[in-house]
Amino acid sequence: MPKQTFFNLPDEKRNTIINAAVNEFMEYGLDNASTNRIVANSGISKGSFYQYFEDKQDVFMYLLTVLEQEKVQYFKGKHPPSMNMDTFGYFRWMIKEGMQFNSAYPHLVQAISRVMFGEGLYYKNFNHVRERSTLGLQAMIQQAIQNGEVDPSVDVDLAVMIIETWSNAISSYILNEGMKQKDIMKWVRSAKTQERIDKMLYVMEYGLRKTESEFTSDMKERT
């Protein structure tokens, strides 16, 4: 975490440093990020940088904290449109709200996504971050099984891994496409993009194979 000297800075100067770090990680990731470039783009000396942070990873960890705090505040006032939603309906709502949040902080989210998923650190060095997500998904799948919405023979841990991977892929796709737009918030909220998200979530929920009755009927016609 940053040293107190960083928090003593005026808001404008703190934001300049953070924005420089976000742009650096977004373009180069963590491994190839340059402290020298962050310093140059912040308009501070290298000595000042080390008065604020231990190293570039310290900066990145702070960005994770900032993102988490913003996300907590964002979801604090959000509620599902219906109390009678099934598990997949609730998950779909969470994903869409997450897309809305991501579109409000596109550069920060893209910088963190590049490091966490592009460099694979989410699966290597940030188990404490992943663990909270995993526990939430496990509870969701177990509740869906109890509700009769998911096959009870499904391996919960395997289902969590698939949902986690699928969700990250959808988020990355929407974020990357959104960054090409002039107004990412407007683009994410558009009917066309929302339909696109629905279609991707449909494949995740129902898979690719036809229903058993359709599949059986189709096989009979072939024989």
Q: Going from the N-terminus, what domains does the chain have, and what CATH number goes with each?
A: 4-59 (1.10.10.60), 78-208 (1.10.357.10)
Is the model's pLDDT at 6 over the cut of 70? yes
The distance of Cα 181 from the centroid of its chain, to the nearest Å, equals: 19
pLDDT of residue 131: 79
Contacts of residue 139, defined as CB under 8 A and 6 or more positions apart, other chains included, come to: none
Model pTM score: 0.74
Q: Is the dihedral of CA 12, 23, 193, 164 positive or negative?
A: negative
In angstroms and rounded to an integer, the radius of gyration of the C-alpha atoms of the chain is 21
Q: Distances in Å between the alpha carbon of 158 and those of 125, 141, 163, 192, 214? A: 21, 10, 9, 31, 26
Q: Distances in Å between the alpha carbon of 196 and those of 30, 96, 184, 191? A: 31, 11, 15, 9
More confident residue, 125 or 4: 4
HSE-up of 220 (CA within 13 Å, CB side)? Answer: 6
Residue 35's pLDDT band (boundaries 50, 70, 90)?
very high
pLDDT of residue 7: 94
* Buried b / exposed e along 32-41 (16+ C-beta atoms within 10 A): ebebebbbeb
pLDDT, tens digit, 9 for 90 and up, residues 167-195:
888 888 887 888 788 888 888 888 998 89
More confident residue, 117 or 218: 117
More confident residue, 63 or 184: 63
* Lowest-confidence region among 81-85, 150-154, 174-178, 215-219: 215-219
Average pLDDT over residues 106-122: 79
Which residue, chain included where needed, has tokens 């509870």? 139
Is the model's pLDDT at 10 over the cut of 80? yes
